[in-house]
């Protein structure tokens, strides 16, 4: 009888993580992920996204619960403040991805982390969105991530730990290097 004892580090099942790595090495198509969300405008600055099933390799996988994400604008940006606004959601996507990437890659290397917090800050000049100055971009001019980490590691390991987010995070990479986005529009 074969027994497998799960090795959990940072809440991550490292045994399963290594199995995933081996599976993707053997069959790269197992690592092809296709994520989807469906958004519906409510009114003004308010809209809702439903996270749709995603594809992992050849499998279509449903989330265990219905995941609805709300967006709205605050009053000063003419909304009703019924949710974080799109650029705040972008900061959340980046924060969560940097943290998870660090936690997972630390687990894979046997580095135990006690605590992670981060503050994300970004500047936007509204003259871009309002098309008041063609030299001012619409998006973030820059984002600062301040990580606070508690881990019983050497200074060298701490620097390595801090590098995992920028080095491995899919959202960090998407934002820093840019992503091609195709937009199609059709009438209802």
Residues 65-104 that bind a second copy (CB under 8 A): 65, 67, 69, 71, 73-76, 78, 81, 83-101, 103-104
Measured from the CB atom, the residue of 1 and 179 that comes closer to a second copy is 179
> By three-state DSSP, how is residue 48 classified?
strand
Q: Give the pairing type, strands 59-61 and 68-71.
A: unpaired
111 binds a second copy (CB under 8 A): no
Q: Does 154 bind a second copy (CB under 8 A)?
A: no
| Closest distance of CB 25 from a second copy, Å | 6
Neighbours of 104 (CB within 10 A): 19
Using rule CB under 8 A, residue 34 touches a second copy: yes
187 binds a second copy (CB under 8 A): yes
Cα(111)–Cα(152) distance, integer angstroms = 9
In whole angstroms, give the CA distance from residue 133 to residue 125. 10
Position 173 contacts a second copy (CB under 8 A): yes
**Residue where the block lists tokens 């687990």:** 107
């Amino acid at each position: 009888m074969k027994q497998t004892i799960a090795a959990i580090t940072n809440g991550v099942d490292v045994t399963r993580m290594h199995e995933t790595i081996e599976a993707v090495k053997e069959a790269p198509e197992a690592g092809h992920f296709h994520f989807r969300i469906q958004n519906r405008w409510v009114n003004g600055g308010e809209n809702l996204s439903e996270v749709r099933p995603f594809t992992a390799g050849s499998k279509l996988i449903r989330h265990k619960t219905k995941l609805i994400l709300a967006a709205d604008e605050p009053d000063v940006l003419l909304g009703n403040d019924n949710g974080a606004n799109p650029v705040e959601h972008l900061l959340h996507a980046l924060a969560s991805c940097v943290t998870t990437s660090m936690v997972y890659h630390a687990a894979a290397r046997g580095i135990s982390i006690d605590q992670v917090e981060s503050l994300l800050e970004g500047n936007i000049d509204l003259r871009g969105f309002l098309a008041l100055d063609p030299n001012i971009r619409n998006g973030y001019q820059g984002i600062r991530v301040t990580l606070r980490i508690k881990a019983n590691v050497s200074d060298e390991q701490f620097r390595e730990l801090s590098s995992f987010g920028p080095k491995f995070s899919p959202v960090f990479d998407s934002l820093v290097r840019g992503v091609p986005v195709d937009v199609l529009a059709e009438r209802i």
